[in-house]
Amino acid sequence: MPFAAPAIKPFQPPRRILMGPGPSDVPPRILDAMARPTIGHLDPAFTEMMEALKQLLRYAFQTENKLTFPVSGPGSVGMETCFVNLVEPGDTVIVCVNGVFGGRMVENVKRAGGVPVVVEDAWGEPVSLDKVADAFAAHPDAKVLAFVHAETSTGAQSDAQALAERARRHGALTIMDCVTSLGGTPVLIDQWGIDAAYSGSQKCLSCTPGLSPVTFSERAIAKVRARKTPVQSWFMDLNLVLGYWSGEGRRTYHHTAPINPLYGLHEALVILAEEGIENAWARHRAMHERLKAGLEKLGLRFVVPEAARLPQLNAISIPAGIDDAAARSRLLNEFNLEIGAGLGALAGKIWRIGLMGYSARPENVDYCLQALQAVLAEQPAVAASAT
Q: Are 243 and 309 within one domain? A: no
Last residue of a domain, one of 223, 244, 273: 273
Q: Are 286 and 243 within one domain? A: no
pLDDT for 385 beyond 60: no
Q: Are 37 and 56 within one domain? A: yes
Strands (E), 130-192: 144-148, 150-151, 156-157, 173-177
Let me know if residue 265 belongs to a domain: yes
pLDDT for 382 beyond 50: no
Last residue of a domain, one of 252, 273, 294: 273
Q: Are 280 and 259 within one domain? A: no
Q: Which helix (H) or strand (E) covers residue 362, if one does?
A: helix 362-376
Q: How does residue 383 score in pLDDT terms, banded at 50, 70 and 90?
A: very low
Burial class of residue 216 (count of CB atoms within 10 Å of its CB; 0-12, 13-18, 19+): buried
Instruction: Give pLDDT tens digits for 129-147.
Output: 999 999 999 999 999 999 9
CATH number, domain of 302, equals 3.90.1150.10
Sign of the torsion formed by the C-alpha atoms of 230, 234, 238 and 239: positive
Instruction: Give pLDDT tens digits for 310-361.
Output: 999 999 999 999 999 999 999 999 999 999 999 998 999 999 999 999 999 9
Could you say which DSSP state residue 197 is in?
E
Q: Are 352 and 250 within one domain? A: no
Q: Are 221 and 82 within one domain? A: yes
Could you say which DSSP state residue 177 is in?
E
In whole angstroms, what is the distance from residue 91 CA to residue 357 CA? Answer: 37
DSSP alpha helix (H) spans, 4-99:
28-34, 44-61, 75-86
Q: Are 134 and 283 within one domain? A: no
Instruction: Give pLDDT tens digits for 2-24.
Output: 899 999 999 999 999 999 999 99
Q: Are 235 and 291 within one domain? A: no
Q: Are 244 and 287 within one domain? A: no
Instruction: Give pLDDT tens digits for 52-92.
Output: 999 999 999 999 999 999 999 999 999 999 999 999 999 99
Last residue of a domain, one of 251, 273, 295: 273
From the CB of residue 255, how many other CB atoms can be counted at a distance below 10 Å?
12
Let me know if residue 58 belongs to a domain: yes
From the CB of residue 208, how many other CB atoms can be counted at a distance below 10 Å?
20
What is the average pLDDT value for the chain, to the nearest integer?
Answer: 94
In whole angstroms, what is the distance from residue 24 CA to residue 6 CA? Answer: 32
Q: Are 248 and 149 within one domain? A: yes
Give the number of C-alpha atoms closer than 13 A to the C-alpha of residue 162, restricted to the C-beta side. 11
Rounded to a whole number, what is the largest CA-CA distance in the chain?
A: 71
Domain count along the chain: 2
Let me know if residue 294 belongs to a domain: yes
pLDDT for 34 beyond 90: yes
Instruction: Give pLDDT tens digits for 223-268.
Output: 999 999 999 999 999 988 877 777 555 677 788 889 999 999 999 9
Domain of 303, in residue numbers: 17-21+276-385
Task: Assign 74 to helix, strand or coil.
Answer: coil
Give the number of C-alpha atoms closer than 13 A to the C-alpha of residue 174, restricted to the C-beta side. 29
Let me know if residue 9 belongs to a domain: no
Instruction: Give pLDDT tens digits for 199-212.
Output: 999 999 999 999 99
pTM of structure:
0.95
